[in-house]
Structure 1
Amino acid sequence: MGKELHSVHYLSLGVHHYSNGQSGEHYTGGAINTKDGSFSLDYVELAYYYETIDKAGGPDDWWKVNVRKYLTGWTWESPQHDYYEKWLFEASRKKRLNRYGITTQLTAGYKHDRTYVSPGDNASFRDNMQYTAEAFIPVKCPKVRFFHWDNMSVYLRWDKGYDYYNINYQNRINRLQAGLVTGNF
């Protein structure tokens, strides 16, 4: 007996704010503090979603295509107005591998018209790619429980491109992260 599936299409429009959560001074010694300096950004995102839903078990397949416009002039830290890419075009796919209960997500992003500015330095980076791969692998051992959590999963994430946590996006990364998470994915 096959799965009973239905699909959903929808658009979303959102205004978002991101802060790196650091509280260091923006400038130290006349240069931008890229170690622990505070920075933030705002953006508008228009996205199209397509989901295939398994009526018995939730989302089975999920696609997202979005365009993001960064509102670089909105930040209250005026020296940051020109730090970030102006546009981001992104495509994502999340797929549940039902046989094992593993959920995977792949994302490719095209960042257009990136700029960073620091004292005495103004450089532009055009047309670069960002890639992300994520996986949630369920822990199927009933004797393994932490803090009374259930729905445990091992989380793996790989990033390639520019480090979005670094002020000015100057550093290239090829990073693998791992962790233990709980929740429905």
Structure 2
Amino acid sequence: MAEIKNIPDEKKSGLDALARNPLWVGLAIGILAAVIQLLLISAGGPEAYGFCVACHTRDVVNIAVNDIAGTKLAVAPLSQNAILPVLTVIGVLIGAWVSARYYEEFRTKTGSAASYLWYLLGGLLFMIFALFMGGCPYRMGLRIGYGDVVAFIGVIAIVIGVLIGIQVATKLAEREG
């Protein structure tokens, strides 16, 4: 009987193999977030502010409105004279785009005006509810690390919302297909 050998089609580089492993990616992101958090707190920033897309987006918008309209909307003290919020939001977008291009997952979508409106409405509602809870899921993770019960309740609410969203999306897909 002939022996069957499993020969891989292509060799993956060590870094590529690590980048596809959720354990190593999670560890790298966690360590990097902890270092950034340490640097921000030592620079006078509030706790659990190191990486929060909702709060940083709020600060970017508030800074722009304050500059243009001369208002005094609330901005985190660390963000008032820094470009940190702008860099965080832009960094997330650029990082996601680079990663999607590198792994050949980047695809543009076309849709109707209604689908774009629903997407915009969902994003706005997510940001509003994230700010009600005191931050986005990234910041909630940091706040849970500080022992914040409200952040834990917020994460549970997000999980429930995602499960409901999956059910709704499944029903809509079954209806269309």
Say which structure is richer in strand: 1
Which one has more relative contact order, counting CA pairs under 8 Å at least 6 apart?
2
Higher helix share: 2
TM-score range, shorter chain: under 0.3
